[in-house]
Amino acid sequence: MNGSGVINFSAGPSKLPEKVMEKANSELLNYRGTGHSVLEMSHRSAEFSQIIHEAESTLRELVGIPANYHVLFLQGGGSGQFSAIPLNLLQPGKTADYIVTGTWSAKAAKEAEKYGKVHRVIADVEKHVGVPCTTKWTTNPDAAYLHYCDNETIHGIEFPFVPESDGPPIVCDMSSNFLSRPIDVTKFGLIYAGAQKNIGCAGVTVVIVRDDLVGHALKECPTILNYKEQAACNSLYNTPPSYSIYIMGLVLQWVKEQGGVAAMERKSAAKSELIYDTIRRSNGFYVCPIEDKFQSRMNITFRIGSGKCTDELEKRFVQEAGKVGMKQLKGHRSIGGIRVSCYNAIHLEEVQVLVNFMQAFQRENTHLFHEC
């Protein structure tokens, strides 16, 4: 906890590690003896140059990014990449394959349609509850790329595997689970992630892209979204989100001190298991709509019962949790229910507080659950 007694379970922007906040606070007015703040620093200065280079090298070390991949720090969020990806990779006459498993991959596919032909490799479903079996996928070996979202933040659906590709490079949105488990970068053509969940604050988006995929942008591609232009000037084509890059650098350093990505994976498994176990043992009071093997470790979604009192119980749950300091537990407005976001900065002890609350709430509201 951050000393305020508040536990922030927000889906993003989300809780930052206390140590990062303290460090940023101590350096806010006078960055390491320079006499000025990172907020006031030229992005061409030697100090900022060091900040951005250190962020990149720590990221390369943590993730194991090979030398033939560029690391770009861009603006426009994950949504900016929904446009940048087809603008850079979808050549005229080609089709891009999209695996749609929730709101974010659906948005990515819709945006790509503005620039070229998109094929959805799985049939549209009314309700997303997991990843449909790969035998039902209709992938195209000639596609420009195969796009998927590793963790659907709204539904709470996470891929337990990297899809196999029969040729096209794999493009992955890791906005909400980046650095929460080790990855083999060589399986991917491109990985992107907005920083505001696991790796920093809003404003910067990490793009890791293999060098053979750079340099084929459509002529309409805006320069700031063009991977070749950005790679050529180390993400400094225009004024970058310098403070967000600085915060990201502090978070990356913190992840390293905690034992790296493998330690984050162990911690995420323990936190999410604590909540899913509470759901499973609740005799139907709490219900997770997502199929077991696709239940997200980052965004745990559940409903309270399934009767006519569900809305009332969920409203009460959010209100009462709020009164004891647990914030941002309301599910996304498009699907309702409860959502607990457990990114890297959330402690196991904080999840334990929530689980104790869930158990007490169930005891106190069982009568209402049974009456409805």
Amino acid sitting at position 4 = S
Query: Computed over its alpha carbons, how large is the radius of gyration of the chain?
Result: 21
Instruction: Tell me if 344 contacts ligand PLP by CB under 6 A.
Output: no
Q: Any contact of residue 156 with ligand PLP (CB under 6 A)?
A: no
Report the residue number, 71 or 154, with the smaller CB distance to ligand PLP: 154
Where does this chain touch ligand PLP (CB under 6 A) — which range of 72-80, 268-276, 336-344, 358-366? 72-80
d(CA 257, CA 94): 44
Q: In this chain, which stretch among 131-139, 169-177, 272-280, 281-289 interacts with ligand PLP, using CB under 6 A?
A: 169-177
Q: And the tokens for 348?
A: 């196991």
Q: Out of 104, 150, 267, 271, which one is annotated catalytic?
A: 104
Instruction: Please identify, among the stretches 36-44, 75-83, 138-146, 307-315, the one whose residues bind ligand PLP according to the rule CB under 6 A.
Output: 75-83
Interface with ligand PLP in residues 220-279 (CB under 6 A) = none
Q: Which residue carries 């449909």 as its tokens?
A: 132
Site for ligand PLP contains 77 (CB under 6 A):
yes
Residue number, nearest CB to ligand PLP = 77
Q: Give the burial class of 114: count Cβ atoms within 10 A of its Cβ; 0-12 exposed, 13-18 middle, 19 or more buried.
A: exposed
Q: Is 271 a catalytic residue?
A: no
Judge whether 29 and 360 are in contact, CB under 8 Å.
Answer: no
The letter for the amino acid at 276 is Y
Structural tokens at position 285: 């009071």
Active site (annotated) includes residue 228: no
**Catalytically annotated residue among 97, 150, 197, 267:** 197
Nearer to ligand PLP, 197 or 303 (CB): 197
User: Cα–Cα distances in Å, from 148 out to 46, 205, 243, 281?
Assistant: 38, 17, 29, 32
- Is 330 tagged catalytic? no
Query: Per rule CB under 6 A, is residue 175 in the interface with ligand PLP?
Result: yes
Q: Whose structure tokens read 């310098």? A: 242
Q: Which of 15, 97, 150, 173 is catalytic?
A: 173
305 binding ligand PLP? (CB under 6 A): no
Contact range with ligand PLP by CB under 6 A, out of 122-130, 168-176, 219-227, 330-338: 168-176
Q: Residue written as tokens 């999209």?
A: 98
Q: Where are the alpha helices (DSSP H) in the chain?
A: 18-27, 46-63, 77-89, 103-112, 227-232, 242-257, 260-280, 310-323, 348-371
Active site residues: 104, 173, 197
Residues that bind ligand PLP (CB under 6 A): 12, 77-79, 104, 149, 153, 173, 175-176, 194
